[in-house]
Structure 1
Amino acid sequence: MQIIQTVVVKQILTEKSRQQLFDNYHERNLQLQKECDQLQFELKRVEKTKTFSSGALKTHFEKEIQMRKEKTKLLEFQIDQLHILPLGSELKEKEVQALVEINIGDKWDERLGQPVIIIKDGIIEDIR
């Protein structure tokens, strides 16, 4: 019988992966800033037309802008932490699903321990 099991994928921090993560965080940060600017522009445009209830609409726009600003703060924190982390640190990248074969007589605890895949610069280093 086969079952689906969650496998954690971790990345070993190298100079190359650090730079890729930094570029990714920076790009997402810029995208969030563009979205904030666009929302502020749309809010001003809608306020000038005065065809909608300005109180509820303004609250909605401000909520969306605030959400993006919080995401920006989180990204800035992650960038700061990225510079602090020593090379060789293992970072949880994501989780994937895997099929696992189980049979009668298998030890349950051994078969279903949390497997981990270790990646270094895009190459699988280890499977634990």
Structure 2
Amino acid sequence: MKIIKKVAVKKIVTDQSKEQLREEYQFKIFKLEQECEQLKFEQKKLEQRSTNKKADIAAKFNKEISNRKDHMKWYKYKLEQLEILPTGSEISDGEVDAVIDIEEGMSWDDLTEQKSVTVKDGMITKIT
């Protein structure tokens, strides 16, 4: 029988991966800023069309803008932490699904222990 199991992916921080993460975070912040500007523009456009629902429109758009600003704060925090992070340390990079063959008589404890894949500069360096 085959089962699907979650496997943790860990990255080893290098100068190259730090630069990639820095660019990724800065791009996400830039995109979120653009979305905020677009939402403000759409809000003004809708408010001009329907003058009797300005408060409802403003509340909905302010909630969306606030949500994006929270995401921007998160990515700025991650940028700050990235600068502090020493080269050679491991960071979590999510999870992937692995298909595992199981048979009668196998140790369940061995199957349920946490497995991981370690990646350095895009190359798998360790599977545990």
Is the CA contact (8 Å cut-off) linking 1:8 and 1:96 kept in structure 2? Answer: yes
The more displaced of 57-66 and 47-56 is 47-56
Aligned counterpart, 1:119: 119
TM-score normalized by structure 2? 0.95
**Number of aligned residues:** 128
Distance of aligned partners of 1:112 and 1:45 in 2 relative to their CA distance in 1, 3 Å threshold: same
Trace 1:73-88 onto structure 2 (pairs within 5 A): 73-88=73-88
1:30 aligns with 2:30: yes
Unaligned runs of 5+ in 1: none
Trace 1:59-74 onto structure 2 (pairs within 5 A): 59-74=59-74
Is the CA contact (8 Å cut-off) linking 2:10 and 2:119 kept in structure 1? Answer: yes
Amino acid at match of 1:39: L
Distance 1:52 1:98 in 2: 55
Is the CA contact (8 Å cut-off) linking 1:10 and 1:93 kept in structure 2? Answer: yes
Runs of 4+ in 1 over 3 A off after TM superposition: none
Amino acid at match of 1:23: E
Amino acid at match of 1:31: K
Secondary structure, aligned partner of 1:53: helix
Distance 1:5 1:96 in 2: 8
Unaligned runs of 5+ in 2: none
Distance 2:48 2:17 in 1: 47
Aligned counterpart, 1:105: 105
Aligned counterpart, 2:93: 93
Secondary structure, aligned partner of 2:86: coil
Distance 2:61 2:111 in 1: 50
Percent sequence identity over aligned pairs? 39
Secondary structure, aligned partner of 1:6: strand
Aligned counterpart, 1:55: 55
**RMSD value, Cα:** 1.1
Aligned counterpart, 2:7: 7
Give CA-to-partner distance per residue, 1:49-87, whole Å, 9 cap, x none: 225611111100000000000000000000000000111
